[in-house]
C-alpha cells in the first residue's frame, strides 16, 4: 500500500480475544478510559457505547490523536476486538498486556501495523 501522507505518523493495533463471559458496557467504558491512561493518550470525550441486540456491545473513545474502538460479541461466540488507531506513537505490547490483564481472555492475538 502506498503511503499517501508520509508526513503524518500513523500507528494501528488490533487486539482480539476469546472470553468465558459477556463484556458489559460499563466494562467497555472503564477499559477504554484506562487504556487511554495506559498509552498516555489525551481523551477528548468520555467513552460512548451502543448495543446491538444481534451481536452485543460496541464502544469508542476519541483521543486528541485519534481513538480506539471496542467490539464485544455475545453471539455466535464470546469474543472481543479492539482497534487502536492513532497519530501518536504508542507501545503496542503495553496495550496488549493491559488488555490481557483487564479481561483475562482464554485466548488473545494482536497485530500492529
Domain ranges of the chain: 11-112
Give me the architecture of the 11-112 domain, per CATH. 4-Layer Sandwich (3.60)
Query: CA 57 → CA 25, 49, 80, 93, 113, distances in Å?
Result: 6, 7, 9, 25, 25
* Rounded-to-10 torsion of CA 24, 26, 30, 31: 10
Dump pLDDT digits (tens) for 80-94.
Answer: 999 999 999 999 999
Dump pLDDT digits (tens) for 1-10.
Answer: 899 999 999 9
H helices present in the chain, as ranges: 25-38, 92-103
The whole model's pTM is what? 0.94
Amino acid at each position: 500500500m502506498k503511503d499517501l501522507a508520509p508526513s503524518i505518523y500513523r500507528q494501528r493495533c488490533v487486539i482480539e480475544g476469546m472470553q468465558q463471559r459477556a463484556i458489559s458496557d460499563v466494562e467497555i467504558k472503564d477499559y477504554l478510559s484506562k487504556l487511554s491512561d495506559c498509552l498516555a493518550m489525551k481523551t477528548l470525550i468520555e467513552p460512548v457505547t451502543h448495543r446491538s441486540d444481534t451481536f452485543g456491545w460496541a464502544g469508542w473513545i476519541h483521543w486528541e490523536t485519534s481513538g480506539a474502538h471496542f467490539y464485544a460479541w455475545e453471539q455466535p461466540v464470546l469474543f472481543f476486538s479492539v482497534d487502536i488507531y492513532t497519530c501518536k506513537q504508542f507501545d503496542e505490547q503495553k496495550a496488549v498486556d493491559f488488555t490481557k490483564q483487564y479481561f483475562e481472555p482464554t485466548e488473545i492475538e494482536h497485530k500492529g501495523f
